[in-house]
Structure 1
Amino acid sequence: MKILLPDHKRWVHDSLMDVRWGDMDSLGHVNNTVYFRYMESARVEWLRSTRDTPHGAGQGPVVVNCFCNYLRQIEYPARLVVKMYVSDAARTAFETWYQIEKQDAPGEVYASGGATVLWVDFARQKAVDLPAWMRGMVEG
């Protein structure tokens, strides 16, 4: 089973990561909460590559909604490829999308998910317009 991403999404980043022994739960597969960490790690890696280092000063991204569809179990050991896509740049937010595959099984999706990212002025704790450079990254 493959969850399709929106047609208008744009690929922006692949992140490679290893499943750690501690990522598993008592049933011997990756715990459901850890998939969100994989997506977060890919998102932060991408943001750092765009020139934005997420921090608590000034303005930056905040996740306001996220989801994950679990399609296949992942067990230790495994090397993952987290494919990240973006879409739907709005005034203050954009969408991120993820597909998690095993590096040794390309094209076989183990999980897919997404997150709505809101651009926030941290001091004011208020949404602000996406910076032009970020809008350009999302729109291509």
Structure 2
Amino acid sequence: MPIRWGDMDAMGHVNNTVYFRYIEQARISWFDEVNAAPDPAGEGPVIVNAHCSFLKQLKYPGDIEVSTLVGPPGRSSFEMTHEIRLVGADGLAGPVVAEGGAKVVWVNFPAEKSVPLPDRIRTLLPAA
């Protein structure tokens, strides 16, 4: 995904909050890809925490690659981790510039309670 001019702050580098947006987009893209978008009238994923380690500054212009990995399932949750890499002029992703993730919990939105992960999601996750 592209680094946008508006992603930068007064210090001339991508603001730390924007890394969370990059991770969010990767997470949402994964949910879209596996047909698991949240259904406000039913069930879906929410995050209960998020974290990011900033290893190197990013600056406009440029492109990044965000890799997404999923962890083993619990009863109603699993971890997602992400690695952000700057893409070079050769089109290849370089070293990790940030790493982060979130704990995802499957919930019943009307009941406002966690529920067991659906089998269709559980089968996508690695064994514990």
TM-score when scaled to structure 1?
0.85
Q: Which runs of 5+ in 1 are unaligned?
A: 1-16
Secondary structure of 2:27's match?
A: helix
| RMSD across aligned positions (CA) | 1.2
Match of 1:136 in 2: 123
Equivalent AA in structure 2 for residue 29 of structure 1? H
* Contact 1:70–1:110 (8 Å) recurs in 2: yes
- CA deviations 1:85-104 (Å, max 9, x no partner) are 00021000000000000111
Post-superposition shift, 1:52?
1.6
Runs ≥4 residues deviating over 6 A: none
Match of 1:121 in 2: 108
| Aligned partner (choices 45, 50, 64) of residue 48 of structure 2 | 64
**Paired residues for 1:1-140 under 5 Å:** 17-104=1-88, 106-139=93-126
Percent identity over the alignment?
A: 45
The whole-number CA distance in structure 2 between the counterparts of 1:79 and 1:107 is 11
Post-superposition shift, 1:79?
0.5
Equivalent AA in structure 1 for residue 118 of structure 2? P
